[in-house]
Structure 1
Amino acid sequence: MKASDLFVKALENEGVEYIFGIPGEENLDFLNSLEHSKIKLVLTRHEQGAGFMAATYGRLTGKPGVCLSTLGPGATNLITPAAYAQLGGMPMLMITGQKPIKKSKQGRFQIVDVVDMMRPITKYTKQIVNGNNIPSVVREAFRLAMEERPGAVHIELPEDIAAEEAEDKVFEVVGSRRPDADQGVIDQAAKMIEAAKRPLLLIGAGANRKRTSEALKELVDKTGIYFFNTQMGKGVIDERHPKYLGTAALSANDFLHCAIREADLIINVGHDVIEKPPFFMEEGKTKVIHVNFFPAEVDEVYFPQLNVVGDIAASVKQLASKITNTSNWETTYFEEIKKDVEAHLSKYFEDQRFPTLPQRLVSILRNTLEDDSIVTLDNGVYKIWFARNYKAYQPNTLLLDNALATMGAGLPSAMLAKLIHPDKKVVAVCGDGGFMMNSQELETAVRLSLNLVVIILNDSAYGMIKWKQEGMGFDNFGLDYHNPNFVQYAESYGAIGHRPSNDEELREILNKALNTEGVHLIDLPVDYSLNHPILNVLLEKETGKL
């Protein structure tokens, strides 16, 4: 069979449902093979949009999302999504085309070494040089993309290899089971936890797996231990739980960090050094038990006293069964901190000023959306407010990026979430800067007939950097711009544009948009005036730095 047909057959063998991307002439054999496949091609308006959709597919399903580009500029446009998936622990496969490698008459036109370019930001990158190698390369790419820690992989399919004949054969998809932690280490961890006076449980990005979520809830319910999470660990346990303290969204001086400083032991489950550190260790103070698939990477702020290495879910279940005596624990302080956190975070939930406070938007969305509704965030200062104030009731219902923290991913991520969860309500919250970086994907969303709500927080500036610029005592310079008329902009793509003029209109428009078909864009003026008096005072006072 033709090698491109074999490639598509190998992808079907892996259970691929969608391929997102923009083909070029080097992909035409592959495109022809895809035409006769059950795999759906989702044509996007930029390779970044395709890559972000593929990465989000991996994040939500645990299976690699697949994206496609041509050579040269198409492939270089996948660099940011590759880093997004790699740092965020999202399984993703990128397929790029290339000029013929056996014989070429075009010199170096459009040619860059894509395989080497991808090497530092992927787990695996390979050029196909023989059609018969396709099945093994595809199987290995998928295996590595899903293996802990998940990430990005890349395969380059040259034009002449795609057109050659190859043997009709694919490899069986074989799963693997991760080993359990050493029983002696589990016993040691259980003794440390029982002996602690103020233990805390931290849930990180690596714990955001279905089995681990169930095991952690069992541990919390059985022992009554208080817990907090990182930004990418939100929703692993329902944040309405009475033992939930909050999300580590800032580095110091927040109410939550008062609790962290008073803990004498932190059980850190699924810690990922890619995330901003949720706490800083100090010699001779709080002890840390590191529970993960891998041993801890030690640095000056993280040096755990014990590594529990193995399948996380199994480790947590074993700990839950071993911890029987919690009489030594003192929880009164954490109970008081929880009350303070709740009071502090809810302070502006009912503030109806207009332009809208981000805290108020958090409140409106949380009160409007269902438990399983999905909110995707782009990157901006509002991400801190959502991380701290928005309670996630289920895993992967607040999709934010605390790894690469790139702009431009909010809209494509929401599109993917709605594509694979058509029955759930999905809202993208984007700053005006991040939205405009991939705003052309509105056309893709309309073409796919997605029922989607996009909220643009409009302050006509790169607000996150402006906040930091002011907080560090610099002049206001170089961060303001002019936006288009977003209502007319949405309508030009066939979407439905809205611009509320007060709080009541915002709530009415949101309800209508969530319950009416089509892509709805809400241009919402935002008031960031409380960023400085609230957030800055919570940051490191000693250094005066953000």
Structure 2
Amino acid sequence: MKASDLLVNCLENEGVEYIFGIIGSEVIDLANSLSKSEKITYIPVRHEQGAAFMADVYGRLSGKPGVCLATLGPGATNLLTGIASANLDHSPVIAITGQKSLNVQHKDAHQYIDIVKVFEPVVKWSVQIKDANTIPEIIRKSFRLSSSEKPGAIVMEVPENIAKANATTKPLSIPPDPKSVPAEESFIQAVQLLHQCKKPFIILGNGVIRQNAVKEIQAFIEHLGCPAANSFMAKGVLPKEHPQNYYTFGFKEKDYVLRGIEESDLLVVIGFDFNEKFPYEWNEKKVPVLHIDPLPADVKEGYPVKGELVGNLKETLRLLLEKDVSPKPWEPSGELKKRIDDANSLNKNMDNPENLTIENILHVLEKLSTEQTVIISDVGAHKVATARTFQPKHAKQLVISNGLASMGISIPGAIGAKLAAPEKTVIVLTGDGGALMNFAELETAKRLGLNFIIILLNDSMLKLEVETMNKAFGESYGVTFSNPDFVQLAQSFGINGMRVNHITEFKEMLATVMKNLNNIFLIDTIIKENKKE
């Protein structure tokens, strides 16, 4: 069997449905093999970065690795940002790249660079296939490694002579993933810590969502009766109205949740990824930690671990609830819950139709979104506002890039989201800067016949940088620009769009589009500063 045919058979064996990419000369054998597949749909995109972002969001919403494809040299390096983003956000992604034949890699060959080494610092595993018969082993290892905690990205390089070679091996069987649980002595230590403390505070990370442990964590929180707060990427684990929901922490300014953390005497940290926020930034007083995670705790400043429960979160929390853990209901002093509720309120200036602000847009979006809505936030000032104030109905309904925090993820991400969850209403929330980075992928979405809504926040600046520089220097530099007519630009892709100038216009437009969504629709919002508080 031709090696490229074997590789496709192995991908089919892993349950791959879609591959996003751009074909170049060094991957034409693989492309030819893909053309014969009845199980995999190959999706040509407009830029390799977009392919990586699509695979990222598809992977995090579907729970299985998203796959992207690029040729050698610039094709592969164009994947780099999206692959690094997926790895830091712990999304399962497999990237396949082409390469020059093995017999010319020692020369100064056209477009040749060592892609394996380029990607090594930003992925879980970067590997070159040197023997066609190793393809089944490498594919199986790649998918298992990509999906195992903490999930991440794998880069697999296929030299063109290997793709053309003959192979005699077959795809490997896929055993179920093992589910480990902590040892009994670890439970004894954890229960003792929970008995001894008086004011536990629960910190929730994205691992809770990745491990499908939302119901178990809700039961644990309600049993313990103490406050709980989530990272940017763990929003939706607790309902907005839940009395123990102290919302999101991890902000540079006005992070009121930290006052509750400082008042506690034990932090129960569950499925938290340190690349969202270093512990020394939110545990300045070095409150003792009970670490509950699929992996052992890293040694970090501000993270004094006194007990660990290491294992599958769903099973670990279920077993912990069966132990004799006494409830520990308490509330931080100074009416902190009310202060956080007020700080997170989206009910500002809604009576003033001139205030088309990010906060008011989020207020409308929260009111109109349903349990079938998925919001994808790009990166910028609106991401911070979204993380602080927007409350999704459930987990996996808000996609935020927070590890690498790369602009440009939202439009290609919407394509991955619709393919992973076609029954959902997908809404893109993007600034003008992030939108234009991958605007060309609207052609991809249109070609696929997808439907989603783009809310474009149009203020002709990188607002977060403007605010940061004004605070530091009293002025900003190099962070403003001019914009095209986004409505006309969308129409050139065959996509309808409208511009709104008032919040009442926006509310009416969004409600109408959500009821009759059968195409892609762009709402160009002309953002204005609050005129009064």
1:494 maps to 2:494: yes
CA distance in 1 between counterparts of 2:355 and 2:492 reads 25
1:192 maps to 2:182: no
SS of corresponding position for 2:473: coil
State the 1:426 CA deviation: 0.7
Query: Once superposed, what is the RMSD of the aligned Cα atoms?
Result: 2.1
- Against the structure 1 CA distance between its residues 324 and 335, is the aligned structure 2 distance closer, same or farther, given a 3 Å change threshold? farther
State the 1:348 CA deviation: 1.3
Show the counterpart of 1:36: 36
Show the counterpart of 1:472: 472
SS of corresponding position for 1:254: coil
The number of residue pairs the alignment matches comes to 529
- Against the structure 1 CA distance between its residues 503 and 450, is the aligned structure 2 distance closer, same or farther, given a 3 Å change threshold? same
1:130 maps to 2:131: yes
- Against the structure 1 CA distance between its residues 404 and 528, is the aligned structure 2 distance closer, same or farther, given a 3 Å change threshold? farther
State the 1:500 CA deviation: 0.9
CA distance in 2 between counterparts of 1:391 and 1:275 reads 18
1:484 maps to 2:484: yes
> In structure 1, what residue type is equivalent to 2:463?
G
Show the counterpart of 2:16: 16
Matches within 5 A, 1:77-88: 77-88=78-89
SS of corresponding position for 1:7: helix
Gaps of 5+ in 2: none
Matches within 5 A, 1:51-450: 51-102=52-103, 107-251=108-252, 253-277=254-278, 280-282=282-284, 286-326=287-327, 329=328, 331-333=330-332, 336-346=335-345, 347-348=347-348, 350-450=350-450
CA distance in 2 between counterparts of 1:189 and 1:272 reads 20
CA distance in 2 between counterparts of 1:473 and 1:21 reads 43
| 1:62-106 deviation line (CA, Å, top 9, x unaligned) | 211100000000000011011111111011000001122236899
Show the counterpart of 1:544: none
- Against the structure 1 CA distance between its residues 83 and 99, is the aligned structure 2 distance closer, same or farther, given a 3 Å change threshold? same
SS of corresponding position for 1:499: strand
- Against the structure 1 CA distance between its residues 143 and 330, is the aligned structure 2 distance closer, same or farther, given a 3 Å change threshold? closer
| 1:279-315 deviation line (CA, Å, top 9, x unaligned) | 53345x5222111122222232323222222222222
- Against the structure 1 CA distance between its residues 388 and 282, is the aligned structure 2 distance closer, same or farther, given a 3 Å change threshold? closer
SS of corresponding position for 2:501: coil
Gaps of 5+ in 1: 535-546
State the 1:121 CA deviation: 0.9
8 Å Cα contact 1:200-1:225 kept in structure 2: yes
8 Å Cα contact 2:269-2:291 kept in structure 1: yes
Which is worse superposed, 436-445 or 346-355? 346-355
State the 1:182 CA deviation: 2.0
CA distance in 2 between counterparts of 1:49 and 1:349 reads 37
8 Å Cα contact 1:88-1:401 kept in structure 2: yes
8 Å Cα contact 2:193-2:307 kept in structure 1: no
8 Å Cα contact 2:291-2:309 kept in structure 1: yes
CA distance in 1 between counterparts of 2:261 and 2:300 reads 19
8 Å Cα contact 1:292-1:312 kept in structure 2: yes
Q: TM-score, normalised by structure 1?
A: 0.92
| 1:230-271 deviation line (CA, Å, top 9, x unaligned) | 001111233332221111141464332222221221100012
Moved over 6 A (4+): none
> In structure 2, what residue type is equivalent to 1:174?
P
Show the counterpart of 1:512: 512
CA distance in 2 between counterparts of 1:154 and 1:125 reads 5
Q: Percent identity?
A: 37
CA distance in 2 between counterparts of 1:451 and 1:352 reads 32
Show the counterpart of 2:7: 7
Show the counterpart of 1:455: 455
> In structure 1, what residue type is equivalent to 2:249?
A
CA distance in 2 between counterparts of 1:250 and 1:376 reads 19
